[in-house]
Structure 1
Amino acid sequence: MTPGADGVRIDCAGPVATVTLCRPDVLNAQTPAMWHAVRDFSRDLPGDVRVVVVRGEGRAFSAGLDLAVAGATGPGSFTELATLPEAACADRIAEFQDAFTWLHRPDVISVAAVQGHAIGAGFQLALACDLRILADDARLSMAEVTLGLVPDLAGTKRLVDLVGYARALELCVTGRRMDAVEADRIGLATLVVPRAELDDAVRDLTAGLLAHPRDAVVEIKALLAGAAGRSPAEQLRAEREAQTRRLRDLAGLGE
């Protein structure tokens, strides 16, 4: 287990890694130091990890960006970013995005366990995961517009992919909050459970994700993740090629 000096605790138990935001006193508000810690962990992810669970300690998943940090004058603050040359500012934001985009990687399945607030950066962190289990007290919002900002932590495409352009636009430009019932109805939730059952639901889903051969799961994720960008003929070809690899591997003929 890695201590949470930067507001993040990481626990690896065999094929499951758990990333816990552990600043419950501020509803797990996020800072650049937290993003760097998560990014650094992702670069050294143990090879046997198949499932990554992302969660928040206490009564919220994450209330978003820590405005006390962002509004100050130090590293990662709005003031510092605004004074950088445009290319340098964009490069810095790219570093922040790395803490989110690694959850898309093809060799793991990521699961967000969401209770309470998932606001702004918290919502984008949940969106970065492949699957989302919401407690019935979850409240989600893309709130960046209320600060005069845009969602920039890899959340925009994921949101459009999940709910469509019109709904994504409405959520992003109003910044309104939605409850777990609505999130489930529009396709953001994999599962909604009572708050007291969230941990059990995560364990059950994780067990299901680990129940079958890793190589088959990796191929299936790749097929589904790339489907939207392929034509029907291209998807059929991708299926044929993936199945050929699986058949050869099962017959002991793989490379």
Structure 2
Amino acid sequence: MSERADGWVRTAREGAVLTVTLDRADQLNAQTPATWAALRAVGESLDDGVRVVVVRGVGRAFSAGLDRTLFSADPGVPGGLAELGSLPTEAAQERIRGYQAAFRWLRSPGVVSVAAVQGHAIGAGAQLALACDLRVFTEDAQLRLPEAGLGLVPDLTGTSTLVELVGYSRAVEICLTGRAVGAAEAVTTGLANLAVPTAELDGAVADLVAALLGPDTDAARETLALVRSAVRNGPDEQDAAERAAQVRRLRRLAGRD
């Protein structure tokens, strides 16, 4: 594998929309540590003007997961799983923490993220799609988390978001069986917001982005924060968060802030 300095990640900005594209179609957008470094850098460079982030992959797959060379048993392969396993425990965990940062920023405050998923989203590819707030699937899309069958675990923020979306028991089944979740099931279970023919993916994503940009910026960001916190807050804490957010909005509308 010959690494590219940009990790096969390119970005394009149009107004308040940032599009992040995995650009490695010949390898089904397989990911490497360089990919994660590039994604993390994109997150670290976000500015307040970005309201929507669209994540997509070129070619016939969103992302087929890890580059095959990373599975080498040779600990001398830079960035490989064998090398990672040979590190001291704290060093290995710290490295994985850095990889996770490439995914977790997609839930940054004030930013709505949308994954445009075609073809396969496997392993790291599935977790990149899961890291986003919303997902649009093509009708042929399939999401899989095969890590347990390989003697590994999903470690790129995928477990928390999967449970949020489909619940505990279905998340257990998806992770331990490693089976493919097709587009129709993904919509039914909440993994995907909608599924469309491949030719309509770009249009569907554009329509969704336009709708997300419709509300007042500050109101949208306050609402997004509330919905995200509701996943983990108890009722009393969430009620208090709603009250505080509404008072901030009313004061802003009244010109007092």
TM-score tier, shorter chain, comes to over 0.9
Match of 1:58 in 2: 59
In structure 2, runs of 5+ residues without a counterpart are none
**1:115-134 aligned within 5 A:** 115-134=118-137
Query: Structure 1 residue 4: deviation in Å?
Result: 7.9
Counterpart-to-counterpart distance in 1, 2:231 and 2:209: 25
Match of 1:14 in 2: 15
Instruction: Give per-residue Cα distances to partners, 1:115-136, cap 9 Å, x unaligned.
Output: 0000000110000000000110
Query: Structure 1 residue 70: deviation in Å?
Result: 4.0
Counterpart-to-counterpart distance in 2, 1:70 and 1:247: 55
Counterpart-to-counterpart distance in 1, 2:248 and 2:71: 48
The reply to whether residue 37 of structure 1 matches residue 73 of structure 2 is no
Percent identity of the aligned residues?
A: 57
1:23–1:57 CA contact under 8 A, matched in 2: yes
Counterpart-to-counterpart distance in 2, 1:69 and 1:78: 6
Query: Structure 1 residue 74: deviation in Å?
Result: 2.7
Counterpart-to-counterpart distance in 2, 1:114 and 1:93: 25
In structure 1, runs of 5+ residues without a counterpart are none
Q: Which amino acid in structure 2 is aligned with residue 162 of structure 1? A: L
Q: Which amino acid in structure 1 is aligned with residue 14 of structure 2? A: A
Instruction: Mark the CA change 1:185 to 1:212 in structure 2 (over 3 Å): closer, same or farther.
Output: same
Query: Structure 1 residue 150: deviation in Å?
Result: 0.1
1:4–1:22 CA contact under 8 A, matched in 2: no
**1:215-234 aligned within 5 A:** 215-234=218-237
Q: TM-score, normalised by structure 2?
A: 0.95
Match of 2:104 in 1: 101
Q: TM-score, normalised by structure 1?
A: 0.96
Counterpart-to-counterpart distance in 1, 2:7 and 2:108: 24
1:70–1:76 CA contact under 8 A, matched in 2: no
Instruction: Give per-residue Cα distances to partners, 1:192-229, cap 9 Å, x unaligned.
Output: 11111000000000001111111101110111111122
State which of 152, 156, 160 in structure 2 corresponds to 1:157: 160
The 4+ residue runs of structure 1 with deviation greater than 3 A are: none
State which of 72, 87, 90 in structure 1 corresponds to 2:90: 87
Match of 1:114 in 2: 117
Instruction: Give per-residue Cα distances to partners, 1:217-247, cap 9 Å, x unaligned.
Output: 1110111111122222222221111000001
**1:190-205 aligned within 5 A:** 190-205=193-208
